[in-house]
Structure 1
Amino acid sequence: MSEDAADRRDVDSSPGRRDAGADHPSATAVAERQGRGAGDRQLSRRRLLCTAGTAGTIGLAGCAGRQYRSRPDCSPIASAADADGYVPLPADDDISMFRRGLRRYGYYPEETVPDAVRVDWSFPTNGIGHTAAKSTPRPTPDGETVLIASDTGRIDAVTPTGERRWRIDTGASRSLGFHGTPAIVDGTAYIGGYDGDCYAIDIASGDVIWRTSAREFGGAIAIGSSPAYVDGNLYLLTEHKNPASGTLWEIDAATGNPTWSDDRIWGMPHPSPAIDCRAGRLVTGSNDGVVYCWEFPSLEFAWSFQAGGEGGPNGDSMAGGRFNLGAQIKGTIPVYDGAAFVGSWDGRFYRLDLEDGSEEWSFQTDNIVMSNPAIVPEDGVVYVGSDDRHVYALDTDTGDELWATNVGGRVIGSITATAETILVGSYDTHLYALDRETGERRWRVENRGHVTSGAIPRDGRIYYAERGVFSNHYDEDEETVLEERGHAYCLVPDE
């Protein structure tokens, strides 16, 4: 696939663009943050708005008009789940999102991985030195289009065989592009960028339906999380600075208008929110090493848990010790069996009770844990990667290690579970396929850069992306140089 500039479009000039922030004075759109120590009960202006919004009595300033919050209906999702709350396939065939669904399992039980593979096509996409995990390619529910978001702010829509449908360059090209993965609902893709804006894009045409500005998100500097979708609402996290902090938002998917927010989060949160409709919980983590949990769909705050326990590094602290830099939580937290499964930079992987946030067990690795785990619910096994170069299979009930496999490099992206195989990218530039039962390597594919996106199996094909290849990246005395753009790949059976 060529770099055909004639097919590109800049969304800043697209006729469908709705920059709602331009319609409102900044005084009404940007909430001034207040000092928040550990014992500080003072609420920021945005916190006051979110408290009122929960009761459905006031809309957020900065929206296009006044909008009231109505609680989403979780009952269809909860009733579709089996006894352990797992939905084997999406409850709605028109919805697709990061880590497969609201619970963020990363599990594809209907997909099998071939014994040998080859690269069917690839094209250059990522080119920014930021080491965060890259966006995961997302097939549409019908499988006819694959969306690939880049850290350069570009989005490509291609067919399964690699032909381009369209390409757009967005406002996120002026920042660190996209690291989150789009949620796809009824022909619309929703994705947040490192420009602090959220985009709704028509999948058929590539036109921007609406674009909610960073100013409407209280002056956000970035959106690294992937949206969750429930009953007409999107849920995502924004990052802020001065102080380093974050906010959870509810957004009307039809208009892009924020309807609720809570800015209690410290650190700059990267994870994507996970939602358990049966347990009535929404969970996420942040760079302060804290897991935050809200009741769902009421969005009343439920509990928090501070990682960095006994044996973990203490790190630096701020805000009365609540900000534990040695225990940052970067990975998305899957929820299963009444529990949240959390990896931390303290080197531990935790199981927390969803009801009250109490620790049920923790597993110690030899380095930080920042990957997105996968869960196979019928087996009761969770698969997680660590910077110690290993992928671990753990019993979800006890935390006992079932197997551990060295994959040659750090694991910071998403782990994918299929019918018989675990797919995982490594910092050693390979994508690995491991036997789900034993951890033995089935095959590996060599690439160019660090493989930090998730690998998505669909209809006999496997889609994933890698980071660009850089020299001098970790040398403070030398200029970092992009040697080669990272590519998006499609693997097919090698027969």
Structure 2
Amino acid sequence: MTERTADHRIVESDRDAETVGGTRITRRQLLCSAGAAGTVGLAGCTGRRYRSPPDCSPVAAAAESAGEYAPLPADDGISMFRRGLRRYGYYPEETVPSAVRVDWSVPTNGIGHTAAKPTPRPTPDGETILIASDTGRIDAYTPTGDQRWGIETGASRSLGFHGTPAIVDQTAYIGGYDGDCYAIDVDTGDVRWRTGAREFGGAIAIGSSPAYIDGNLYLLAEYKNPDSGALWEVDAETGTPTWSDDRLWGMPHPSPAIDCETGRLVTGSNDGVVYCWEFPSLEFAWSFQAGGEGGPDGDSKAGGRFNLGAQIKGTIPTYDGAAFVGSWDGRFYRLDLADGTEEWSFETGRVIMSNPAIDPEAGVVYMGSDDNFVYALDAETGEELWSADVGGRVIGSITATAESILVGSYDAHLYALDRETGERRWRVENRGHVTSGAIPRGDRIYYAERGVFSNYYDDTEETVLEEMGQAYCLVPDD
């Protein structure tokens, strides 16, 4: 099912901007200057002038010395979504037991929103597990399930949290569906700073998980009227936004990936476009339009509409000079990071929105689809190596370990698949759809599910929360 398709790169132009007095003005700047943004101040509409670009060289040097598969930034005091800046979701030092049981579980998710749920995130030392919830709570537990603290946040008045914290030393950073970004003290649960939605230009939500490097955070914010987004750089010490680019259309959910070796930052959005910047300069490099209904249309984008049918919901990992992209058009793409050229695509025929995992030692990418299958693909050629039926849609994150693939399914199970063959090693029955990632740490595996609802897809009946979703800790079943 691998095929090479037509080149869908978008040549960068000023199609989303106007020129005033020789200066390029973006759509949000025009809205703000005209007063159309309501309470949004002009400071929230423009990129900041005095940014200090991060030093990418230590990360690139560490990756080179450790080999292509180096999963973490150079600083060992960092823990973030999909393991590291390139978002591999790869844990080569972790092994999955041949049989498991639930050691403990706690209620966490209870909002009827089908987006993937936050992944429980261990601190760098593994002694604290942070669990963010779509109810707007953040809780801290020990590996044995004792609660250290729990807090309610302003995100409780919205759809809570759907991103996963980035933890640097003893501070956790996370964006909420209230449009705010929070810095939380891991020891106490105290809020060290909170950057408001107004400071992000009137954002309505932050669903992406921050990337951290050299004192800076990188995340995506979402906007309405028109449906659009922006990439933001934030000073991690103070919470001050230092730069932004609002060229994204659609309301973006992915988490940005940073590849210091190739000097690229890449992400996608609901308009079906992959956006790529040079890094750390943040000069825009290229964009690529996935397929789907309508195709690129500057006139429709000016009205705030986007390319329905090609949404890019999942985070895009980078490996071997390429970006790996799943789209709602049913295709999984490999794009050249240098210029956005499509190198191959793999078709499942159904929506792809999960976060893929990459084993860079073997050169294999693992991805899931709404066709109920997980696929192992040769990262260089796109050749299918194996596929495995997991009984339901896959919309969360896939995790690769030393010998297993961990994946949650809409059939309310967490699966462990053999990494070489795709054969099922075991599955654990849960209550709701398993849409978070599964994180192995020592002899434990942490993951979460969404709440259990009745009448969720029935417009004639009231949707009812039947049971809160749970976060789980699995241990070996000796």
Q: Distance in 2 between matches of 1:246 and 1:313?
A: 21
The one-letter amino acid of 1:261's match is: S
Helix, strand or coil for the counterpart of 2:301?
A: coil
* Aligned twin of 2:18: 41
CA contact (8 A) 1:249 1:258 kept: yes
Q: Distance in 1 between matches of 2:469 and 2:170?
A: 28
The one-letter amino acid of 1:275's match is: I
CA contact (8 A) 1:316 1:325 kept: no
Helix, strand or coil for the counterpart of 1:397?
A: coil
User: Out of 50, 56, 68, which is 1:68 matched to?
Assistant: 50
Worse-matched range after superposition: 230-239 or 316-325: 316-325
The one-letter amino acid of 1:270's match is: H
The one-letter amino acid of 2:43's match is: A
User: What CA RMSD, in Å, does the superposition of the two structures yield over aligned residues?
Assistant: 1.9
The one-letter amino acid of 2:285's match is: A
Say if 2:122 is the partner of 1:145: no
* Aligned twin of 1:361: 344
Q: Distance in 2 between matches of 1:46 and 1:300?
A: 18
CA contact (8 A) 2:174 2:209 kept: yes
User: Out of 53, 67, 91, which is 1:108 matched to?
Assistant: 91
Q: How far off its partner does 1:82 sit?
A: 2.8
Matches within 5 A, 1:260-299: 260-299=243-282
Helix, strand or coil for the counterpart of 1:474?
A: coil
Task: Identify unmatched segments of 5+ residues in structure 1.
Answer: 1-35, 49-59
Deviations 1:78-114 (A, max 9, x none): 0001376431454211001000000000000000000
CA contact (8 A) 1:90 1:96 kept: no
Matches within 5 A, 1:149-298: 149-298=132-281
Matches within 5 A, 1:281-360: 281-308=264-291, 312-314=292-294, 318-319=300-301, 323-360=306-343
Helix, strand or coil for the counterpart of 2:82?
A: helix
* Aligned twin of 1:32: none
Say if 2:372 is the partner of 1:389: yes
CA contact (8 A) 1:88 1:109 kept: no
Say if 2:82 is the partner of 1:99: yes
Q: Distance in 1 between matches of 2:429 and 2:191?
A: 36
* Aligned twin of 1:479: 462
Identity of aligned residues (%): 82
Deviations 1:130-161 (A, max 9, x none): 00000000000000000000000000100000
| Cα distance change on mapping 1:488 and 1:455 into 2, 3 Å | same
CA contact (8 A) 2:446 2:471 kept: yes
Helix, strand or coil for the counterpart of 2:245?
A: strand
Q: How far off its partner does 1:323 sit?
A: 2.3
Q: TM-score under structure 2 normalisation?
A: 0.90
CA contact (8 A) 2:69 2:359 kept: no
The one-letter amino acid of 1:467's match is: R
The one-letter amino acid of 1:301's match is: F
Helix, strand or coil for the counterpart of 1:79?
A: helix
The one-letter amino acid of 2:286's match is: W
Q: Distance in 1 between matches of 2:274 and 2:268?
A: 4
| Cα distance change on mapping 1:450 and 1:198 into 2, 3 Å | same
Q: Distance in 2 between matches of 1:489 and 1:258?
A: 35
CA contact (8 A) 1:37 1:319 kept: no
User: Out of 422, 428, 433, which is 1:439 matched to?
Assistant: 422
Q: Distance in 1 between matches of 2:328 and 2:27?
A: 32
Q: Distance in 2 between matches of 1:314 and 1:368?
A: 17
Q: Distance in 2 between matches of 1:284 and 1:248?
A: 9
Deviations 1:191-249 (A, max 9, x none): 00000000000000000000000000000000000000010000000000000000000
CA contact (8 A) 1:247 1:261 kept: yes
CA contact (8 A) 1:361 1:398 kept: yes
Deviations 1:45-68 (A, max 9, x none): 8669xxxxxxxxxxx8259xx982
CA contact (8 A) 2:180 2:206 kept: yes
Helix, strand or coil for the counterpart of 1:82?
A: helix
